[in-house]
Amino acid sequence: MTIIKILGSGCPNCQRLAANAHEAVEKLGVEATIEKVTDYAGIHSYPILATPGLVIDEKLVSAGRIPSVDEIVSWLEE
């Protein structure tokens, strides 16, 4: 099972990123857990300079922007 983490304070951009991640998972039909990491220590345990951040299976794939559903799909397919 894939583990996806949304890094950020819960701001509107973080919420949009979470929505895009949910849509990408549904589009692919894969099993995934989507977690929101909102605490400072948890966020900065990854090499991130700006939120929102997206982590897939402990690999930071995006930071400081909202990737499209198609981008997230391509990362999930890797």
Report, as residue numbers or ranges, the catalytic residues.
11, 14
What is the separation of C-alpha 62 from the centre of its chain, rounded to a whole number of angstroms? Answer: 8
Closest CA to 22 of 12, 30, 49: 30
Supply φ then ψ for residue 37, to 5 degrees.
-105, 110
